[in-house]
Amino acid sequence: MKNINMVDLNGQYRKIRWKVNREIKKVIKSSSFINGPIVKEFQNNLQEYLNVRHVIPCANGTDALQIALMALDLKKGDEIITTNFSFASTIEVIVLLGLKPVMVDIDPSTFNLNPSLIETKITDRTKVIIPVHLFGQSCRIEEIINIANKNNLKVIEDNAQALGSKFKFSNSEKQMLGTIGDIGTTSFFPSKNLGCYGDGGAIFTSSDNLAYKMRGIANHGMYERYYHDEIGINSRLDSMQAAILNVKLKYLDKYNQRRQKSADLYNQAFKSIDKIQTPFVESDIDSHVYHQYTLKVPSEIRDDLAEHLSLNNIPFGIYYPLGFHEQKAYKQKFLSDNDFPATNEIKNQVISLPMHTELSRRQINYITDTIVSFFK
Ligand SMILES: *Cc1c(COP(=O)(O)O)cnc(C)c1O
């Protein structure tokens, strides 16, 4: 079997090579490497794709979260509610800004922050909820928005893993993830569903005020050249990355459909194996774009299965080995309680399989046959 990768960026590039190369050459020829017209063009195209009023491109998904928090006029010690099972960026920026992270346990079926646990954590210092749409699946954002409205909190959606996914509201209307909260953020890290060839990120909002403020913060707090009204940071999407993203944005829906198709094939193959729990999809197909395809297996055999995959040259990922509440950097300093039974249980059960836009049916068959044989 030809090498199987967790992601196959080269295979994806080969199919759009001439377009990407042409656009990169254009940027080089123009020498407009920073804030070139292509950045604005990508911004407009993404606004249209998401159907959101403002897209603010920035340097990466971590900065996007930081800029969003900086725009909300928070005070040191204000509390931010978020999930304790995610990539580190989410908690990192909270702590770096002198805010207090208040972690909430997850729903063990979706791995997403459990909305029914939020209200017990709200105090009079709580200002923001940051839900993460983990692994490509929408969290229960409607419930979270209702809780936020009731308690006068802001919502920042960390949508680094689910760009292009939609949430279906109880009235059946659908809306792009990242455009539902007050602010949404994303990452264009190469392996994300819409990835560039370096670092990149973006912020979304429908508020003119927040958009104005965040554009300034991303640009040294500068609204008029060399006049600094706020303490800002330097966070730009460069023209080369914008040019690549502009090409790839046109393929995003197709890419996500390919991921959904591969997930389907995996699901079918594992249906008959009781010990495998395939990803639980809460809503309809649009709500999961499979940034990761993550199985749950009994914790006693998870590491043996991982070894079996390695022996058969199939890569896998353990996302994530620990919740934030157990990470060395965060464990003692900031977390008041240890009440994360769902995270503690599932961190030993999860195993993510290769998932990308270039997986062939033969590769999927090889992967599923290898896994099924482990359980026989
Ligand atoms: C990738 C990721 C980020 C950070 O994005 P970078 O561009 O790497 O800074 C933030 N949150 C989540 C959930 C992510 O998966």
Atom of ligand 1 nearest to the CA of 62: 9
Q: Is 268 in the same domain as 241?
A: no
Q: Is 30 in the same domain as 134?
A: yes
What angle in degrees, to the nearest 10, is found between the helix axes of 252-270 and 239-249?
A: 60
Regarding the beta carbon of 249 and ligand 1, being less than 6 Å apart is answered no
Closest-CA residue, ligand 1 atom 14, reads 160
Regarding the beta carbon of 201 and ligand 1, being less than 6 Å apart is answered yes
Last residue of one domain, picked from the residues 182, 216, 249: 249
pLDDT digits (tens, 9 = 90+) for 9-55: 999 999 999 999 999 999 999 999 999 999 999 999 999 999 999 99
Regarding the beta carbon of 354 and ligand 1, being less than 6 Å apart is answered no
Each residue's pLDDT expressed in tens, for the chain with a length of 376 residues: 668 999 999 999 999 999 999 999 999 999 999 999 999 999 999 999 999 999 999 999 999 999 999 999 999 999 999 999 999 999 999 999 999 999 999 999 999 999 999 999 999 999 999 999 999 999 999 999 999 999 999 999 999 999 999 999 999 999 999 999 999 999 999 999 999 999 999 999 999 999 999 999 999 999 999 999 999 999 999 999 999 999 999 999 999 999 999 999 999 999 999 999 999 998 777 889 999 999 999 999 999 999 999 999 999 999 999 999 999 998 876 665 568 999 999 999 999 999 999 999 999 999 999 999 999 8
Last residue of one domain, picked from the residues 208, 223, 249: 249
Regarding the beta carbon of 195 and ligand 1, being less than 6 Å apart is answered no
Atom of ligand 1 nearest to the CA of 134: 13
Regarding the beta carbon of 235 and ligand 1, being less than 6 Å apart is answered no
Last residue of one domain, picked from the residues 249, 275, 304: 249
Closest-CA residue, ligand 1 atom 2, reads 160
What angle in degrees, to the nearest 10, is found between the helix axes of 61-70 and 208-217?
A: 120
Q: Can you list the alpha helix ranges (DSSP code H) found in the chain?
A: 9-30, 37-50, 61-70, 89-96, 141-151, 208-217, 239-249, 252-270, 299-311, 341-346, 361-375
Regarding the beta carbon of 87 and ligand 1, being less than 6 Å apart is answered yes
Q: Is 216 in the same domain as 260?
A: no
Alpha-carbon gap, residue 375 to 301, rounded angstroms: 10
Does the residue 1 lie in any domain?
Answer: no
Q: Is 197 in the same domain as 258?
A: no
To test the ligand 1 pocket, which listed residue (112, 187, 191, 352) has its Cβ within 8 A of the most ligand atoms?
Answer: 187
Does the residue 4 lie in any domain?
Answer: no
Q: pTM score, two decimals?
A: 0.97
* Domains in the chain, number: 2
Does the residue 2 lie in any domain?
Answer: no
pLDDT digits (tens, 9 = 90+) for 335-355: 655 689 999 999 999 999 999
Q: Is 235 in the same domain as 284?
A: no
Alpha-carbon gap, residue 117 to 129, rounded angstroms: 12
Regarding the beta carbon of 277 and ligand 1, being less than 6 Å apart is answered no
Regarding the beta carbon of 89 and ligand 1, being less than 6 Å apart is answered yes
Does the residue 3 lie in any domain?
Answer: no
Q: Is 289 in the same domain as 321?
A: yes
Distance (Å) of CA 64 to CA 60, 361, 375: 6, 36, 43
The enclosing domain of 87 has a CATH number of: 3.40.640.10
Q: Is 268 in the same domain as 215?
A: no
Let me know the angle formed at the C-alpha of 185 by 115 and 210, rounded to the nearest 5 degrees. 100
Task: Write out the residue range of the structural domain in which residue 25 sits.
Answer: 9-249
